[in-house]
Amino acid sequence: MFKAEDVGTRMVITTRPDMPIYDAMRLITNRNITGLPVVDADLNLVGVLSEKDVLKLLYETADRSDHTVADYMSTKVVTLDANSTLVDLCDCLIDGNFRRVPLTEDGKLCAIAGTSDVIRGILRVERQAV
């Protein structure tokens, strides 16, 4: 049976909590991604910055030039162990209100998997061309 790590992306684009928010927004748009795992220096996951999180900027009237990722990121993050099954990953994405889930090994971020990764995994399981 396929594991979550078999379909997840290991080359994860991340950010740090102290990154300026506009730099993180540029990273999201330039890389065409929907969110960024936020990690500390030891790759411990401390949050996620999603497209929805940064939409809050539109409603603020104060100067935001000194705001950082930490000001907008979600800190209650659902993660999944990289050795979880593809079914566990699918269940997590269906039950949660998110499009991607960080995968961890020994508490450290090691990959990220989203809905399109699960779809590719299903095609592989069913021996269909990807």
Q: Which CATH number covers residue 35?
A: 3.10.580.10
Nearest to 100 by CA among 2, 1, 4: 4
| pLDDT tens per residue, range 12-51 | 999 999 999 999 999 999 999 989 999 999 989 999 999 9
* Boundaries of domain holding 85: 4-125
Q: At which residue do the structure tokens 């065409």 appear? A: 32
Within a domain: residue 33?
yes
Output the CA torsion 105→14→37→33 (10° steps): -120
Average pLDDT of the segment spanning 79-92: 93
Within a domain: residue 71?
yes
Beta-bridged to residue 3, according to DSSP, are 85
pTM, full prediction: 0.85
| Total domains present in the chain | 1
Average pLDDT of the segment spanning 115-123: 88
pLDDT value at 67 more than 80: yes
pLDDT value at 129 more than 70: no
Q: Which residue has the higher pLDDT, 109 or 97?
A: 109
Within a domain: residue 45?
yes
Within a domain: residue 30?
yes
Within a domain: residue 56?
yes
Number of Cβ within a 10 Å radius of residue 101: 26
Within a domain: residue 65?
yes
- For 50-67, b/e burial (b = at least 16 CB within 10 A) is beebbeeeeeeeeeeeeb
The helix/strand/coil state of 107 is coil
d(CA 36, CA 13) in angstroms, rounded, equals 7
Q: Grade residue 73 by pLDDT with cuts at 50, 70 and 90.
A: very high
Within a domain: residue 32?
yes
Within a domain: residue 130?
no
List, in sequence order, the alpha helices (H) in 38-85: 51-54
